Amino acid sequence: MDKFSNDYHDYVFKNGKFLGNFEGMYRHSTDVPWHQDKTSYSVFSDIDLAILRQYRYNSICEVGCVRFRVLH
């Protein structure tokens, strides 16, 4: 990608091809990708938090992120 796009979609798919340039997406897009800033406290997050609070975990794997990490 020669010129940086402000549209986060262009870093995931461009011209029908999967790019998966998530670092560039977060670095150059003008909007928060997938509107995470507006949906982070949606009902799904509330349900997830309620489930997590029921149990004690030694570690958690964040599946929805670009990098995997273990939280302690």
Model confidence at 59, in pLDDT bands (50, 70, 90)?
confident
Residue 1 has pLDDT above 80, yes or no: no
User: Residue 39: what pLDDT?
Assistant: 67
Whole-model pTM: value is 0.44
Going from the C-alpha of 15 to that of each of 1, 9, 10, 46, the distances in angstroms are 12, 11, 9, 36
CA dist., res. 66 & res. 49, Å (int): 21
Mean pLDDT in the chain?
76
14-49 per-position pLDDT tens digit: 888 898 888 888 888 888 877 777 766 676 777 878
